[in-house]
Amino acid sequence: MTRFLTLLMILVFFYANTNAQNKAVAAGEKLVYTTSYNMSGVLTDIAQVTMEASEVKTSKSTLLRLKCTAATYSKWDNFFKIRDLYESYVNPSNLTPYLYNRDINEGSYFKNMKYTFSNSSNTVKSVMKKKNNYVEEKTVKINSGTKDIVSTLYYMRTLDYKNMPVGTKKTFTILFDNEEIKGILTYLGKETLSTAIGKKECYKLAVGSSEANVLQGKNSNYIWLTADENKIIVYGKFKIPVGNGELKIKSASGLRN
């Protein structure tokens, strides 16, 4: 289960048209999820994922802070304790990232990764810290439109699925551990799901990756977004190298629309 939730996060990220405007996400939004993992053939709730958006004012501009935390429920901490933080500071209008921070604490594993984006030059200044005071600094060249995993997760909610033909495929690229990860997303149409926040008509999306250490198998990884102006994730199914599981919404508050 090492870095289980890190791999889970990758399941739901993709990249498309960088000019889309944000009309779905605003400060004050809070989404809470339960993560289930297949243990001995039984899906078991093991962790909570919380996603929050807030406003941050700097001397030059106002940014949107997109914060994601993951924590195992206390009864699982002795088995495998997870306390992870992912956060991205973005332009509120188009969710272009400026700063990204990732703190991973999973069992005995620790890593901190910070990115400073220079979108004009398509470069990222990366600072990685591990235990024993190990620090690695480098400048990474990226393709136009490449994002961190958090800003991409939110950015997908700005896309126009309403007018997207079934079967449409989108490529995606994220920067993860200083490497660009490529993948593909397929729009499969609408489905209605019963969730903890009510019955929701949803856009169903299949996610795949050419990276062998990220997603596994065909027809194994899906996410469902509400088919409304908010387009929040309400459900996800995933299969990764360490197993398979589900992501289910628990509560949603402060929605923009």
Degrees, nearest 5: CA angle 209-212-215: 50
Question: pLDDT at position 216, please?
Answer: 42
Q: What percent of the chain has pLDDT over 70?
A: 87
Region 125-140: what's the mean pLDDT? Answer: 92
Give the chain's domain count. Answer: 1
Alpha-carbon distance of 179 to 158, in angstroms, equals 25
234 or 206: whose pLDDT is higher?
234
CATH code of the domain in which 145 resides: 2.40.360
Enter the tokens of residue 81: 């304790």
161: pLDDT strictly greater than 50: yes
Question: pLDDT at position 241, please?
Answer: 61
Domain that holds residue 24: 4-253
Please say whether the beta carbons of 149 and 10 come within 8 A: yes
Handedness of CA 196, 39, 7, 108 (dihedral sign): positive
Render pLDDT for 34-59 as a digit per residue (tens, 0 to 9).
Answer: 999 887 788 899 999 999 999 999 98
Tell me the residue type at 7.
L
Q: Are strands 42-57 and 109-118 parallel, antiparallel or unpaired?
A: unpaired
8 or 29: whose pLDDT is higher?
29
How many residues in the chain?
257
117 or 215: whose pLDDT is higher?
117
Element (H, E) at 152: helix 149-155
Confidence of residue 207 (pLDDT cuts 50, 70, 90): confident
249 or 16: whose pLDDT is higher?
249
Average pLDDT along the chain: 87
Degrees, nearest 5: CA angle 192-198-200: 25
Give Rg (Cα) of the chain.
Answer: 17
